[in-house]
Each structure stands twice: as C-alpha cells, then as structure tokens.
Structure 1
C-alpha cells in the first residue's frame, strides 16, 4: 500500500507541476503596416527588424516570385561559411572553364570578363559577385566550393530548407535563366526557369546571413571598386544606387547593403538593409517597375523612420504561471531578456504574451531570475518573420524566489484541478 500511495502521490505532483495558466492581457498592438504608403510599384514587399524579425511593413510578401540576382546573397553565405570552416580561403586560386568564360562575355548579362587561361582569387570573384553582381564570377565560386554547380545548388536548397523556407525554387548560384549559364545548367531543368522565392522568405535569408556573417556589409557597402582583368583594371559600380555617391543617395537613409536583382520576369528587386534609431532594419521589394525600386524602398523607409519608435519591456508582473508545487500556487513572470519592439508613436498599447508553457523539468524551490517557462509574444497573427501562430518564442524568468509547497497542499491542488 505504501508503494502504491507513493506512486500515486508522485504522479499527482508531476501533473500539477505541468499545469500552466495565463494571467496576461490579450490586448494587441495595431498592425504597423498601416504606417506605410500604399502606392509603391513593387508587387511584393516587406520590412522587418533584423534582431527580432518583427514585421514592420508587408505587401503580399508570401507570393513566390523571381528573385534574380538577390540569389547571390544565398550563394555568398555558402562561400563565407566555407571560408569560416576552412574549406576555402580568400586567397585560394579559382580557374574558370571555357563555358564560364563565354558566360562572362555575354553582353546581355552583368559580368566582369573572365579568362579561362588565368586564375582569380576567391576574394576577387566574391567582391565582383556582390559589388558588381558578376554572374560568371559567382557561378565559378559555387562550382569551386562544391565541386560542381549541381552540388552547389543542392547546398543552396538544403540551406534555405534549414531556415524554414520550403517553397523556394533554386536552379543556379547567380539567379539567371537556366539557358544563360552554359554548361552549369542544373540537370533536367527547363531553359526558361529561374530562381524564385517570396519577399518574406528573402527577408529570412537576409536575416540569417546578417546574423551569422555581418561582415558581408563591408562588401555590399562599397560603392565602387576595381577588378583586375589581367590586362586592365575595370571599375565596378555597385547597382545599389542608395549608397553614398550613388544616384539615389540621401544621407537620411543609413543603408549599407545589400543586393539588387533584375530580370525580365522579375522586374526590379532590391534587398536593402540599414539603421533606424541605431537598429538594423531589412526591407525587400520585388517586381518594382523600371527605375522605381529605390523610390519604393524610400517610400517604405520614410514612415518607418518618422512614425515608429522603439520601446523596451520585460513584462514584469504582467503574467504568471500556475505551479502547484510552488508555495503560493503560482509564479510571477518576466522576460528573461528585455525585449525591444517597434510601435507607432501615438500607440499606448503594449506587447503581451498570449501563451505560456511551464518548463517540464523545473523543480521548486528556485531563485528569482531563473528561467522557468517559455512564452510567445504576439502583436497580431503574423507579426514576426519566423514566429509560430502562437507568436515569437521567448524565455520567461521568475520575478521572485519560490519556495516548495507542503506535500499535502500540492496533492490537494492537483486533485482540485481534476474536478475544476
């Protein structure tokens, strides 16, 4: 009997400790998309906070469209990753085959001329790929990194899958039509296909790249540079006209990257990033009309800069979780790390938690500040780039030290829960 009683008691205590309750307000901030001008020409667009993924602006961002040379951001990530892991070096020599030489000489494409009889460093081709959007250069890098263009594209596909992007269509490292890449065409693909992804997924790509390799901005912020062709120095002018000395430069926009993309099917694309109130923001425009992508970007950034403010909260004492093993029967909560979020200047509502999950293995007693639960922050149903339907996952800490309740009290609470 004693063993049976002990087993029952243990089971009841376990069940009681895993019974969470939410005492937070369900009020939500109004969508920030309302702050942005609606007359941009882009078919799809999005703006997000790089640190949290909070969506600041959205226009049909989930529709998959051609991304053109914005593809090179994914390719550049894999090259930087390979260098970081010691598989490649910046001074490593790269040769090109006759087919890539011909691609580099295609006057319809953006390129630096490559000669199959000489070699180039990884750094030379990398800079040309991002500054001048040189197509044959990034194809050569991809082939060198993976052993073949097919294997490199497979790495691109695998990488975006790992980032939660499941509807991307990737065929080559450059973002060209398949009939433009010579012998580097992906097996069994049609000639007229090109890389495709949604604006939202492109924002996810840029977010991951900037978090892991912020040094990419040292290249994408370069407005002009020289490329040594072997016979002369070719001046490469960055296609991002919003950089200093560019035709669309305005000092109020603190942009330092990232990548343009243009094709007949895509229209004009632009993945931009820069600072607002010392906070990094990412914007994507896709399918802008001719000569409008930078103007579209400005129309998105203007209200973000003028109408939004950054707020900080730890949500202390705004939520609690029921815990039968705690002396008081519940635990007050706060964010383990204070959270910065964007809000309209005239908005008095606050960021709130809409779901709390008690950590399964958390035992009493414990001290104030210990992480005891997981919460989900929410502004609206789709307000974070990589959040779930419940919101953005965050760690929650106890606001006070918690003592262990008497064993009989714990059992009583658990039994009461069964009949409530």
Structure 2
C-alpha cells in the first residue's frame, strides 16, 4: 500500500516539475518579448534610461525653446561660484542697451578693486590704483578670464557700489523668474575673500542658485544678448597688450575648440570653482543648427573627486547626449491654427469669434527613431478672458491670448523652463466693438429663428 502511494506521488511530482519548468520557460520567453517591445517599439524609446551625470546637479536644455532634455537634482539650491558672473554680464549688457553705460566709458580703480586685483590666488588681472580702464577691457577680463576685480569694477560703474549692484542682481533674478537664488556679491567668490569689504550676507556666504535657475539665466543671457558669445568664445587674449600691464588671458572654458578639451561647436559660456561650490560649468554649443545649453554643478570624476577635468568630461557627456539622441520635430508652423482651438469667442464684437494662430513656428527636440505623435494645445491667459473663456471687443490683431503646450501620446507634457513658453498664440485679425443696435438686436433675438437673424443682419448694414 505504501509503495503504491509512493509511486503515485512521484508520478504527480514529475508532472508538477515538468509544468513548473515549462512555466518558467514560457515566463522567460514572455518577459524577453515584453522587454524587446519596451525597448524597441518606436515611440516608446526611453533614451535617458541609463544616462547619468557625475555631478550634484545637472540640466540640459534646447537653447532656442527652453525645452528640458535632461535634469538631475535641478531644483536644489547650490553654490554657483563664478557662474554668478552671467548675471553681471546680463546687467552690463542691459545697461549698454539702455544707454546707461557705454563699453568705451572709463572706470577709475577704487581701493577695494585694487586690493582684490592684487590677490593672484584668485582669478584676476592686476590693475593699478587710481588708473582708468575702459568698460570693454574690464568686460573682456571678466568674461574670458573670470577676473574678479574687473567684475567688481563693473558693478561699481553701474550702481556706484557693489552692495547696490547686488540688490540689482537679486531684483533682476525675480524679474527673470528665477526662484532659488541668493546673490551676496557680484563675483561668486566666498565673502571671506573680499578683504573685509563684503556688505551683504555673512562673512562666509556665497552666491547660490538651482541648476534650473542657472540654465534659465544662461538662456536669457544668450537670447537677449547673443553678442555675449562673441566675447565668451574668445580662447585667448592679452589684457592691455603692448603696455607694462600686459597679461595673457586664457579662457577658463577649456572646451572652446582650440583649447585643451576642445569640443566641436562649443561657443561659451561660464565656468566657476570654489571650495564650497565645487567644479561648475555652464556650456553653450551649436551643431548643425541645433543649439544646446548645459549646466553641471559640483562635477566629479568616477572616483567621486572634484576636478577641473571632471566638469569638462561631464559637460561633454551632456552635450553628446543632446546632439546624438535628439532631432528637431516640427509641432506647429508659424501663423498656423492649433487643432481644437482654431477660434475663440468674442463678446460685444462685430464678429462673434476670431481666428487664432501661432506667433512663430514651434519645433521640439524629440528622441531619434521615435514615432511618438505629439499633440499641441493652448494654455490660455485666464486674466485676459471672461468667465466663459471669451475675449471682449475691441480686440487688436496680434493680441497674445496664451501659448502652445505639447504633450506626447500618453498625455505627458514635454517639459520646458517655467519662464520660457514655447511659442505664443495670438489673434489673427482685429475685431471691432459692435454698435448699440447690433448688441440690442442680439439681446432680443437670442434663440429666435433664422428669419429674425436675417432681418438683424440686413438692418445692421444700414449702420
């Protein structure tokens, strides 16, 4: 009896084992198929799945639209060191544009600027006490060589003192929509390096920003004042050439094509290094009509060590990723309608609605070999619309009513910098306000037969 039971049990066990092994095999095959589909089906490719950057924070954006292609810890406020000088550059070029300062204006060296310039442990060009220098000379020293004393000199020229200039920096940050920013000086140095001249913050404070804010500042700088790249892209230049004060300036951006880490298409923009901030870099590059901005903050090598080389290695990684993995894909042509929102109602107008169109063409950078169908829609400016989402006449042609947003086929938004809408949507025509008779007839005739509408339209022509 016992033997019979044992034989039956062994037989069942063998069947179970066969089924179990078969199940494993089927499961393995199914898993492989699913993985294959997940990795290779067009439109589902996740190009950033295994991509990472050795830095405390990093971000990569399209320099033309502000589209975010990659980000890592980009909302944490960190030290930015001399990348702060992008704000000083912005404010100087703005002052030049507004006619408040000219590049051929002169500046007489203050005791503060002289003291900082003599500290060769800092990035500097030495200047003479009481000597005059042109703003152009100081701008080049700041932008090419990250000269700290030259930066303070520019701050004093614009605002009278660095303390007042720092107030201007923080005000401009708010105006540009930067959210996690703290400027305590014009240079990005630690306050303890300012020889007791710091006037904002504590003695060991430094400027701080998030990676997203750094990218936004860089975006605004190169788009509002593209001429900055003419100077930021100079690999080498002599300060005060032909004088006793001549000094060779080699750009700290060693990725400019002719320098040691030369990278094809590199055009700018600003490096930064302090013990607190680590090795930082905001880079701009262009290849085949595609422009990118990338930021690395506190970059390290594979051993976790911060080095000059690390920030350029990680920057190359980001730029290569952008240039090799993405391509332009047009979403909307200039002056075209957005499907589903071709018109908008107009109250009290001669016409009851007005056509809408894009202010400019919109392209995004989409993963290569992806067949994803992107959908455009409009995010309306609620402050310009009535409760029912309508405009009120009179309406001028070209009135901006919102901007285009883009989503993929899974209804996931394509990310852009918060302060940089992809392209505006505006009215294609003007709509004049209707006269009192038309408005009265509409009020009386609402919901009445087409015959009455015909009478109203006929009488309207008399007025």
TM-score class, shorter: 0.7 to 0.9
Q: How does 1:206-225 map to 2 (within 5 A)?
A: 206-225=218-237
SS at match of 1:43: strand
User: 1: CA distance between counterparts of 2:232 and 2:46?
Assistant: 28
Once the two structures are TM-superposed, the CA of residue 284 in structure 1 deviates from its matched residue by 0.9
Q: Match of 2:121?
A: 108
Q: Match of 2:314?
A: 296
Q: Match of 1:165?
A: 178
SS at match of 1:257: strand
User: 2: CA distance between counterparts of 1:293 and 1:110?
Assistant: 18
Does residue 383 (structure 1) correspond to residue 384 (structure 2)? The answer is no
Question: For the aligned residues, what is the CA RMSD?
Answer: 3.3
Q: Match of 1:319?
A: 340
Once the two structures are TM-superposed, the CA of residue 239 in structure 1 deviates from its matched residue by 0.5
Q: Match of 2:425?
A: 395
User: 2: CA distance between counterparts of 1:209 and 1:223?
Assistant: 20
Once the two structures are TM-superposed, the CA of residue 204 in structure 1 deviates from its matched residue by 1.1
SS at match of 1:214: coil
Once the two structures are TM-superposed, the CA of residue 324 in structure 1 deviates from its matched residue by 8.6
SS at match of 1:378: strand
142-151 vs 352-361, greater mean Cα deviation:
352-361
Contact map agreement 2:346 2:391 (CA 8 A) in 1: no
Once the two structures are TM-superposed, the CA of residue 346 in structure 1 deviates from its matched residue by 2.4
Contact map agreement 2:326 2:366 (CA 8 A) in 1: yes
Pick closer, same or farther for the CA change 1:236–1:95 going to 2, 3 Å.
Answer: same
Q: Match of 2:216?
A: 204
Contact map agreement 2:113 2:153 (CA 8 A) in 1: yes
Once the two structures are TM-superposed, the CA of residue 146 in structure 1 deviates from its matched residue by 0.5
Once the two structures are TM-superposed, the CA of residue 376 in structure 1 deviates from its matched residue by 4.0
Q: Match of 1:184?
A: 197
Q: How does 1:4-403 map to 2 (within 5 A)?
A: 34-35=47-48, 38-187=51-200, 189-228=201-240, 230-251=243-264, 254-289=265-300, 290=307, 291-314=309-332, 316=337, 318-320=339-341, 323=345, 334-348=357-371, 349-353=373-377, 355-356=379-380, 358=389, 360-361=391-392, 373-379=401-407, 380=412, 383-387=415-419, 394-396=424-426
Give me the TM-score of the superposition, normalised by structure 2. 0.72
Contact map agreement 2:106 2:135 (CA 8 A) in 1: yes
Pick closer, same or farther for the CA change 1:103–1:373 going to 2, 3 Å.
Answer: closer
Once the two structures are TM-superposed, the CA of residue 162 in structure 1 deviates from its matched residue by 0.4
User: 1: CA distance between counterparts of 2:400 and 2:173?
Assistant: 32
Structure of higher RCO (CA pairs closer than 8 Å, 6+ residues apart): 1
SS at match of 1:184: coil
The aligned length equals 374
Does residue 411 (structure 1) correspond to residue 446 (structure 2)? The answer is yes
SS at match of 2:392: coil
User: 1: CA distance between counterparts of 2:444 and 2:345?
Assistant: 12
Give me the TM-score of the superposition, normalised by structure 1. 0.79
Once the two structures are TM-superposed, the CA of residue 84 in structure 1 deviates from its matched residue by 2.2
Pick closer, same or farther for the CA change 1:337–1:91 going to 2, 3 Å.
Answer: closer
Q: Match of 2:457?
A: none
User: For the pair shown, which has the larger CA radius of gyration, 1 or 2?
Assistant: 2
Once the two structures are TM-superposed, the CA of residue 232 in structure 1 deviates from its matched residue by 3.9
Pick closer, same or farther for the CA change 1:74–1:355 going to 2, 3 Å.
Answer: closer
Q: Match of 2:385?
A: none
Contact map agreement 1:377 1:394 (CA 8 A) in 2: no
Once the two structures are TM-superposed, the CA of residue 37 in structure 1 deviates from its matched residue by 5.7
Contact map agreement 2:358 2:425 (CA 8 A) in 1: yes
Pick closer, same or farther for the CA change 1:63–1:160 going to 2, 3 Å.
Answer: same
